[in-house]
């Protein structure tokens, strides 16, 4: 494919019959997986920066903090000690034990370390779970809006996502009533996220228990993305393992622990599933990065946790500034997010489509935000996501620029 310019924006089109023929010879699964719309926006934002413009990045879901110093030091020590070889497919035993200890400390849960598999990022955990639980033609129920890679991983294993429209009235989360309405003969489970991307909403312990019961009644699996655990404000997120010991839990060192580029996550599974998951891990990626695993051992040290908790406080301050500031400008944010670092905002009051709105804000005010099209289908055309992954002075500057952009916006 080649890029065809539409103004300064890049759209991808087939530029020749030969290219079209080549692409049609690729797998259907590859062609069915959609690109991130935000990546074209990010590419344009980077172009503007090269041209000398000061772009405020509120589009990418990555903490602005670098990895905490104790974790970096542990990684450097691991490299110096020669810890550069494969580990077991399930991961370093001492890291699995440390994670189990974390569950005991934070959730008062006794999790056998043998149930924990260390994965290359949270994506590796999702790959294992979807490969294990989804046969061709089967599907999970997923909230719409939701993180796009979830449905793409299901397509990769020849399954599918049954997108369930959710809105502020159910805090953008699946409910037992929705499970009953959308469950069919090809349904095999549900994947929920708490806190959720892009909305930041949580599932409380009773809601997790009710979802678990609704799925068990139908013989389905419950998979819970807990990747944003630790990044909650004014409350603590409940783990599904507090109410359902047979659920599958996806987690990551990327968000709360700030190790995005280290590519490390984990999966907690029922004991009976572990041998099959280990076999899949052996074949799909051999093992997670060994130096990252050794570095992650420092995540659970008191000095590191003190740093991470201070960062959580900083994210809370950012949310508490940006949420009322955007509402005052006219953005519709019906549900206060309790976690993650996102605000999912309705732009209906301003008219026009979300993608064009994001283009306008970037081209005129140099503020990059994400269009709702990346998160599903339900009312996506008039929603945008703000990531408060910049410090307070930059957020204040962004709000001033957005206010100017609203005055010049012509849908």
Q: Is residue 15 part of a domain?
A: no
**144 and 173 in a common domain:** yes
Q: Which two tokens stand for residue 277?
A: 């998951």
Question: What pLDDT shows up at residue 40?
Answer: 82
**223 and 99 in a common domain:** yes
Nearest to 347 by CA among 365, 321, 373, 320: 373
**252 and 168 in a common domain:** yes
DSSP letter for each residue of 98-156: HHHHHHHHHH-----GGGEEEESHHHHHHHHHHHHH--TT-EEEEEES--HHHHHHHHH
**274 and 137 in a common domain:** yes
Q: Which two tokens stand for residue 336?
A: 């206060």
Question: What pLDDT shows up at residue 60?
Answer: 87
Calculate ∠ Cα 36-355-175, nearest 5°: 70
Number of independent structural domains in the chain? 2
Q: Which two tokens stand for residue 365?
A: 């005010």
**199 and 88 in a common domain:** yes
Question: What pLDDT shows up at residue 7?
Answer: 37
**244 and 231 in a common domain:** yes
Residue 386 has φ and ψ, to the nearest 5°, of -105, 130
Q: Is residue 175 part of a domain?
A: yes
Q: Looking at the chain, how many residues does it have? A: 411
Over its C-alpha atoms, the chain yields an Rg (Å, rounded) of 21
**252 and 207 in a common domain:** yes
**205 and 94 in a common domain:** yes
Sign of CA dihedral 138, 142, 147, 148: positive
Q: Is residue 7 part of a domain?
A: no
Question: What pLDDT shows up at residue 22?
Answer: 59
Q: Is residue 5 part of a domain?
A: no
- What is the tens place of the pLDDT at every residue in 1-50? 333 333 333 333 334 455 555 567 899 988 888 887 788 888 999 999 99
Question: What pLDDT shows up at residue 36?
Answer: 78
- What is the tens place of the pLDDT at every residue in 389-402? 999 999 999 999 99
- What is the tens place of the pLDDT at every residue in 53-100? 999 999 988 899 999 999 999 999 999 999 999 999 999 999 999 999
Q: Is residue 401 part of a domain?
A: yes
Last residue of a domain, one of 300, 321, 345: 300
**291 and 192 in a common domain:** yes
Last residue of a domain, one of 275, 300, 325: 300
The ranges of the chain with pLDDT < 50 are: 1-16
CA distances from 68 to 43, 65, 118, 335 (A): 28, 8, 20, 31
Question: What pLDDT shows up at residue 25?
Answer: 85
Last residue of a domain, one of 300, 316, 348: 300
Write down the residue that tokens 């602005």 correspond to: 64
Q: Is residue 173 part of a domain?
A: yes
CATH number for 381: 3.90.1150.10
**111 and 57 in a common domain:** no
Question: What pLDDT shows up at residue 8?
Answer: 38
CATH number for 157: 3.40.640.10
**207 and 105 in a common domain:** yes
DSSP letter for each residue of 151-179: HHHHHHTT-EEEEEE--GGGTT---HHHH
CA torsion, points 131, 196, 166, 347, in degrees to nearest 10? -130
**57 and 123 in a common domain:** no
Range of the domain at 402: 34-61+304-406
Question: What pLDDT shows up at residue 6?
Answer: 36
Q: Is residue 18 part of a domain?
A: no
């Amino acid at each position: 494919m080649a890029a065809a310019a539409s103004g300064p924006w890049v759209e991808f089109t087939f530029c020749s019959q030969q290219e079209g023929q080549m692409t049609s010879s690729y797998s259907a699964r590859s062609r069915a997986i959609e690109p991130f719309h935000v990546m074209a926006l990010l590419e344009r934002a980077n172009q503007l920066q090269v041209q000398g413009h000061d772009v405020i990045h509120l589009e990418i879901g990555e903490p602005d903090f670098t990895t905490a110093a104790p974790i970096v030091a542990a990684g450097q020590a691991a490299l110096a000690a020669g810890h550069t070889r494969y580990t077991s497919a399930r991961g370093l035993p001492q890291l699995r034990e440390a994670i189990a200890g974390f569950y005991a400390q934070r959730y008062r849960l006794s999790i056998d370390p043998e149930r924990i598999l260390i994965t290359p990022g949270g994506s590796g955990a999702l790959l294992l779970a979807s490969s294990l639980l989804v046969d061709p033609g089967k599907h999970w129920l997923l909230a719409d809006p939701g993180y796009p890679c979830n449905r793409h991983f299901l397509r990769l294993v020849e399954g599918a996502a049954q997108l369930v429209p959710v809105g502020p009235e159910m805090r953008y989360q699946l409910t037992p009533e929705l499970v009953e309405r959308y469950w069919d003969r090809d349904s095999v489970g549900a994947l929920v996220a708490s806190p959720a991307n892009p909305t930041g909403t949580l599932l409380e312990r009773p809601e997790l228990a009710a979802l678990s019961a609704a799925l068990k009644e139908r013989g389905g699996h419950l998979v819970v993305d807990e990747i944003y655990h630790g990044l909650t404000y004014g409350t603590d997120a409940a783990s599904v393992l507090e109410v359902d010991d047979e659920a599958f839990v996806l987690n990551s060192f990327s968000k709360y622990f700030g190790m995005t580029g280290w590519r490390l996550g984990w999966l907690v599974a029922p004991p009976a599933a572990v041998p099959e998951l280990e076999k899949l891990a052996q074949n799909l990626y051999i093992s997670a990065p060994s130096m990252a695993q050794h570095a992650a051992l420092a995540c659970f040290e008191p000095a590191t946790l003190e740093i991470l908790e201070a960062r959580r406080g900083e994210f809370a301050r950012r949310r508490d500034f940006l949420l009322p500031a955007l509402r005052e400008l006219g953005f519709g944010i019906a549900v206060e997010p309790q976690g993650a670092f996102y605000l999912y905002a309705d732009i209906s009051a301003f008219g026009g489509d979300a993608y064009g709105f994001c283009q306008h804000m970037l081209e005129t005010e140099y503020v990059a935000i994400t269009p709702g099209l990346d998160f599903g289908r339900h009312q996506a055309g008039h929603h945008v996501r703000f990531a408060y992954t910049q410090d307070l002075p930059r957020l204040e500057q962004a709000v001033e620029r957005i206010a100017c952009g609203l005055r010049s916006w012509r849908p």
